[in-house]
Amino acid sequence: MLAFSNDYYGMIFRATQSVELFCAYFGTGELPEDMLIHIIRDNFDLSPTGIIKMLDLRQPIYKQVSAYGHFGRLDLDLPWERLDKVEDLKKYKNDTEKGTD
């Protein structure tokens, strides 16, 4: 949603969902790419608010990730390293193998 007020400085921009989602696994995937996009949209809130909540971005964790990197850190409980969606996502592969969708 893009709205303009009469005041030039009153411009408001609010995206409720990601505009575009692109997936490419260059022939190495086990599911069709369009199905993967559908699965991602069904299981992850990709709106700005959803990303902030999912990754807990309002918490002051940045000092501890400012050194030694912020990916693959087993010594910290970082939201983007959690595997809490694995079981939810596995059901799609199982459904495809069974021939259901």
Give pLDDT tens digits for 65-81: 877 777 888 788 888 88
User: What is the C-alpha separation between 99 and 87, in angstroms, rounded?
Assistant: 19
pLDDT of residue 86: 92
Residue with tokens 């989602």: 21
| pLDDT (0 to 100) of residue 87 | 92
> 14: helix, coil or strand?
coil
pLDDT, position 28: 85
Q: Name residues of the chain where pLDDT drops below 50.
A: 1-12
Residues 65/73, Cβ–Cβ less than 8 Å:
yes
Q: How far apart are CA 52 and CA 57, in angstroms?
A: 5
Beta partners for 93? none
Strand, coil or helix: what is 92? helix
Give the C-alpha separation, 46 to 21, whole Å.
Answer: 9
